[in-house]
Amino acid sequence: MPTIKKLSIVSGALFTSLLLIAVALKINHLPGAKAALNTALVGLALVFIPLLAAWKLKKP
């Protein structure tokens, strides 16, 4: 079973890389940039930050 630490690291890496790809798409005015940007920001806000907070608060 995955731990909070593993989930937070994987989700942070996934959504951060998606954010970087979305910014590159946005700079080049390519299609799909807005959807990728929204997905990355929502994922960071609703998945990564709560997992990170739970992991940090759970530490002794």
Number of domains in the chain: 1
Q: What is the mean pLDDT of residues 3-22?
A: 95
pTM metric for this prediction: 0.88
Read off the pLDDT of residues 33-48 as tens digits, 9 standing for 90 and up. 999 999 999 999 999 9
What is the domain range of residue 44? Answer: 4-58
Q: Work out the burial of residue 31: count CB atoms within 10 Å of its CB; fewer than 13 is exposed, 13-18 middle, 19 or more buried.
A: exposed
pLDDT band at 58 (very low <50, low <70, confident <90, very high): confident
Instruction: Tell me: pLDDT of 57 over 80.
Output: yes
The mean pLDDT value of the chain amounts to 94
Q: Pick 58 or 18 by higher pLDDT.
A: 18
